[in-house]
Structure 1
Amino acid sequence: MKIELAPKRDTKKIIAFCSFIVLLGYAGFALSSKATKDVSASQLRFQTVKQSHLDIYTTAYGELSSAKERLLTAPAQGKVSEILVRPGTKILPETVILTLANPRLEQEVNAAKGQLAQQLAQREAFKFEQQSERLNYQGRIADIEADIERAELELSVNEDLLNLGVSSKIELQRAKLSVKQESKKLEFEKKKFDQFVEMQSYQLTQRDITIEQQQAQVALLEQQLDDMKVKAGISGSLQNLSVELGQSVQLGQSLAKVGSDEALIARLRLPQNQADQIDINAPVIIDTQKGYIKAHINRIESVVSNGTVLAEAILDDALTSNARPALSISAQVFVKHQQNTLHIEQTPGLRPRSKQAIFVRNANNQLQQKQVTFGELSKGQLTITDGLISGDELVTSDINKLLSYQKLNIVD
C-alpha cells in the first residue's frame, strides 16, 4: 500500500508575508494619521469668523417684462394687406401695426349708410305729412268755431226779436240748439286733434328709435372698418407679430402683441426651498448689469416648475439705461432677518448648505482640521451653522491636498 504525504508547508515564508502585510498597513496608517505636517505661511490666507445680525437674501434669476401688455386681434374676417411695423419697433397708441382688407365689410358699411339715409328721408317726409294733417284738423276746428260764432249771433238776434215780439220761441230754441251742437262738435274735434298730436309724437319716437339703431349699426360697421387698420393702443414696443403679408385671418384671431417699455415689472424664479419663506412686499435688489433697481415682491405663484417658483416684483426705482422687456436679470430677494449669526465672506471652495473639512488656526498657531457646516449664502456672506465660533480664523486658500493630516504646523 502506497501512502502519499502532504507537502510540508513553508511556515517561515507565511510568517514573513504576514509580517510584511502588517508592516505595510502600519506604515499606511502612520502616514494617514501623521500628527502634523509643515506648511509655509506664505501659502495661507485666513478669514475671521464674524458674529452679527444679518439679513438673509436669496439669489433669483429672471427677466424684465412689460407691466402693460395688449393682445391685438382681428376685428373682422380679412386678409393682411399691409404690414407697417416689425417686432422691436417703438410704438405709440395711434401707431398702425398692420392693415386688413375686407371688401364685403366695405359693402356692408355703404349699405348701412344708404339705409340710414333712407330712414332719415322717410322721417322728414312723415313729419311733413303729419304737419299737413294737423293743418287739416286746425282748419276744421276754425270752421266749427266760425259756425259757433254765427250760431251765437243768430241766437242773440232771436232773443232781441223775441223781446220785440217779432220772433217765435221755436226760433229761439232752434238757435240755442245750434250753438250747443256746434260747441260739442268743437270739443270733440279738439280731442281728436290732441290725440292725433300725441299719436304723431309716438310715431316720431318710434322712427327715431329705428334711426338710432341704424346709426349704431353704421357706427359699429365703420368702427370695424377703421379697426381694420390695427393700432397699438398703448405706448411701448411691438413684441410679437403672428401673421404674414397676404395671410387670411378670422374674427378674433391673434395678430400681434404689444407691451410697455417704460412701465416694467420683474419676473423672477425663486428657489423652491426658500419660496415659502418669502413674504409679499419683500424687498428686492435687481441687477441689470448697468446698475441696480430697488423693487418689492408683488405676487408669488404656487406652482413649482423645475425646482423654482415664479414671482413678480414691482420696480420702485428709475430704470437703468439698458432696461427693456425680456432683459435677463439677477436679483437678491430678502428672505428673513437672523440675529447673532456666524458668517464669513464666501471664497472659492466654500459651498452653501454643505458640511466640509476646514483647517482652523488654534491657540498654538497650528492648523487644526474641523468639520464645519455652512448654511445660506446671502449677498456674498456665507452663514455658519456648526463647527466654528466667533473669532475663529479659518484657512481660505486651497490646501485640500493636505486634508489627510489632522494638524499642520505653520512655518515662515
Structure 2
Amino acid sequence: MDVIKQKKSSRLSKRLVYSSVLVFSIMAIGGVLASVDFNAKRVDRSKVMLGEVTSGDLDITVNSNGSLEPRNIEWLTAQVNGRVAEVLVKPGDKVEKGQVLLRMTNPALEEAVESAFSAWEGATANTMSKKVNLERDLLNQESVVLRAKFTKEKTQMEVIALRELGNASAAIKLRKAEVDLRQQEGQYEIEKKKYDKLVANAESMMAVSKASEDQLKNALTRARRQVANLEIITGIDGVVQEMPYKVGQPVAPGEQLGRVVQPEALYAELKVPALRSSEVHVGQRVEINTRVGYLTGQVERVDPTVVAGNVIVDVSIEQNNKVPVRPGLPVDALIYTAELKKVLYVDKPAFARANDTISLYRLDSDQSYAELTNVKVGKVSVNHIEVLGGLTAGDRIIVSDSSDWNDYSRILLN
C-alpha cells in the first residue's frame, strides 16, 4: 500500500512542473509577440547596405572619364588626287620635321606641269621678242626725232645769220629760211609726239605681255605645287600615330592620310555629366587614374556646349616622371569641386541629388527596426552626401535602393 501512494504523489509533481513550464512559455511568447510590429515590412538584413553618419571634413568630387590626348597634332591631309605609291613609315615610328612619310602618283598632274612649263616658256620668249621689237622701234623713232631737231636747229642758225646781214639778197633768203624753220619746228613736234606714243604703246604692250607671262608662271607654280603635294611631309618632330593607307589605294583631296603627334605634351580630355558640369570651374584640382598609376592636374577649360549628355573638360597634367602614359590612353578622374569643413556626411544613398530632401530609413537604437526619415541633402560627392538636417552623427541608415519598401514607414531587419 505504501508503494502505491508514492506513485500518485510523483505523478502530481510532474503535472505541476509541466503546467508551470507551459505558463511561462505562454508568457514569454506573449511578451515577444507584444514587442513585434506586425505592420512593419520585413527585410533581409543581408540584402541591404548600411551607412553611418560621420562628422568631419568632406571633399566634394565629380566623377568623370576620358582619355589622354596630345596637345600638338598634325593631321596629314591629301591635297590632290592620287594613288599611294610608297608608304615610308608605320605607326609608332619617330619622325622629324620635313621628313617624307608617304608618296603618291598622278600622271595627269605631271603632264600638267610639262604643259604649263611649255606655255610659260613660250610666253616668256614672246615677251622677250616683243621687247626687242619695241626697243628697236623706239630707237628708230628716237633717231628721227634727233634728225628733226638737228635740222630745225641748223635752220635757226641760218635765220639768225641772215638777219644779221640785213641786205636785200639776204632778205629773200631769210623769208625762205623762216618758212623752212616753221615747217621743221612743226615736224620736230610731230616726231616727238610719235616717240611719246611709241613709248606709251610699248609700256602697254609689255604690261599685257608680262601679265600673260605671269599668269602662265602662276599656273606653272600651281601645277608644280600639286605635284609636290604628292609627297606627304610632316611639319613637326613627333611620333606617327596613324598611317592607315596601303600601296595602291586611291586618294581623294581632303582625305586623312595619317596623324603625327608629340607624345611628351599630353592633356586629359574628360567627359563630365551635364548635371554636374555647373560645379566644375577652371583651376580646380583633378586626380587622374590611368589604371597603372595616378596623375594630378588642373582644370584649364570647360566646354560651353553639351554633347550626348556630357560636357568636355580639358585638364592640364602636372609634370610626370613615373607613370607610363601615351596618347589615347583611357582614364578615370575625380575633379575636386569643393572642400567642406566640419560637416555631417554619410555614404551616398541611391538616387540622392544635391540640395534636395529625400526619405531614408534610419535604424533605431537596437538596430532591429528602421523608420522612414526625411533627410535634407546639401552637396553631393561621388561616394558621399552632405547632411544638412534629419540625421545626427552616429545614426545608421540604409543607403541601398529601398524603393520597393517606400510604402512602409517602418521596416524590420531580419
TM normalised by structure 1 equals 0.72
Measure, in 2, the Cα distance between the counterparts of 1:251 and 1:228.
Answer: 11
Measure, in 2, the Cα distance between the counterparts of 1:322 and 1:393.
Answer: 44
Residue by residue over 1:180-214, the C-alpha shift from the partner in whole angstroms, topping out at 9 and shown as x without a partner, is: 21122112211221222122122222222222222
CA separation of 1:30 and 1:97: change in aligned 2, threshold 3 A:
farther
* 2:302 pairs with one of 294, 299, 304: 299
In structure 2, the partner of 1:203 is 205
In structure 1, the partner of 2:5 is none
Measure, in 2, the Cα distance between the counterparts of 1:386 and 1:88.
Answer: 57
Conserved? CA contact 2:60–2:379, under 8 Å: yes
Measure, in 1, the Cα distance between the counterparts of 2:220 and 2:293.
Answer: 53
* 1:156 pairs with one of 149, 153, 160: 160
In structure 2, the partner of 1:318 is 319
In structure 2, the partner of 1:290 is 293
* Pairs within 5 Å for 1:349-368: 353=352
Residue 76 (str. 1) matches residue 80 (str. 2): yes
Conserved? CA contact 1:268–1:312, under 8 Å: yes
Conserved? CA contact 1:70–1:259, under 8 Å: yes
Aligned amino acid, residue 54 of structure 2: V
Residue 110 (str. 1) matches residue 111 (str. 2): no
In structure 2, the partner of 1:90 is 94
Measure, in 1, the Cα distance between the counterparts of 2:279 and 2:370.
Answer: 31
* Pairs within 5 Å for 1:198-347: 198-279=200-281, 282-288=284-290, 289-300=292-303, 302-303=305-306, 305=308, 308-315=309-316, 317-319=318-320, 321-336=323-338, 338=340, 340-343=342-345
Conserved? CA contact 2:273–2:311, under 8 Å: no
Measure, in 1, the Cα distance between the counterparts of 2:195 and 2:329.
Answer: 78
In structure 1, the partner of 2:407 is none
Gaps of 5+ in 1: 1-21, 34-45, 397-402, 407-412
CA separation of 1:383 and 1:90: change in aligned 2, threshold 3 A:
farther
Following superposition, the deviation at residue 342 of structure 1 comes to 1.1
CA separation of 1:309 and 1:28: change in aligned 2, threshold 3 A:
farther
Aligned amino acid, residue 249 of structure 1: V
Residue 126 (str. 1) matches residue 127 (str. 2): no
Following superposition, the deviation at residue 108 of structure 1 comes to 0.8
Following superposition, the deviation at residue 60 of structure 1 comes to 1.1
CA separation of 1:394 and 1:250: change in aligned 2, threshold 3 A:
closer
Measure, in 1, the Cα distance between the counterparts of 2:274 and 2:31.
Answer: 49
CA separation of 1:316 and 1:253: change in aligned 2, threshold 3 A:
closer
Q: Percent identity?
A: 22
CA separation of 1:129 and 1:48: change in aligned 2, threshold 3 A:
same
RMSD (CA atoms): 3.9
Conserved? CA contact 1:352–1:376, under 8 Å: no
- What secondary structure does 2:334 align onto? strand
Choose 102-111 or 272-281, whichever is displaced more: 272-281
In structure 1, the partner of 2:178 is 176
Aligned amino acid, residue 312 of structure 1: V
Conserved? CA contact 1:357–1:369, under 8 Å: no
Aligned amino acid, residue 73 of structure 1: T
Conserved? CA contact 1:101–1:228, under 8 Å: yes
Measure, in 2, the Cα distance between the counterparts of 1:395 and 1:209.
Answer: 88
Following superposition, the deviation at residue 24 of structure 1 comes to 12
CA separation of 1:47 and 1:24: change in aligned 2, threshold 3 A:
closer
CA separation of 1:146 and 1:272: change in aligned 2, threshold 3 A:
closer
Measure, in 2, the Cα distance between the counterparts of 1:315 and 1:357.
Answer: 42
Aligned amino acid, residue 256 of structure 1: G
Conserved? CA contact 1:352–1:377, under 8 Å: no
Aligned amino acid, residue 284 of structure 1: V
Alignment size in residue pairs: 355
Gaps of 5+ in 2: 1-25, 38-50, 353-357, 399-410
Following superposition, the deviation at residue 296 of structure 1 comes to 0.7
TM normalised by structure 2 equals 0.72
Residue by residue over 1:319-352, the C-alpha shift from the partner in whole angstroms, topping out at 9 and shown as x without a partner, is: 45523211111211233454642136x6xx9878
Conserved? CA contact 1:80–1:249, under 8 Å: yes
Aligned amino acid, residue 318 of structure 1: Q
Aligned amino acid, residue 124 of structure 1: M
Conserved? CA contact 2:103–2:231, under 8 Å: yes
Measure, in 2, the Cα distance between the counterparts of 1:25 and 1:113.
Answer: 113
Measure, in 1, the Cα distance between the counterparts of 2:215 and 2:337.
Answer: 60
Measure, in 2, the Cα distance between the counterparts of 1:262 and 1:330.
Answer: 20
CA separation of 1:258 and 1:312: change in aligned 2, threshold 3 A:
farther
Conserved? CA contact 2:295–2:317, under 8 Å: no
* Pairs within 5 Å for 1:140-151: 140-151=144-155
- What secondary structure does 1:294 align onto? strand
Residue by residue over 1:125-173, the C-alpha shift from the partner in whole angstroms, topping out at 9 and shown as x without a partner, is: 2221111111101110121122123312332343344x2x351533211
Measure, in 2, the Cα distance between the counterparts of 1:337 and 1:193.
Answer: 91
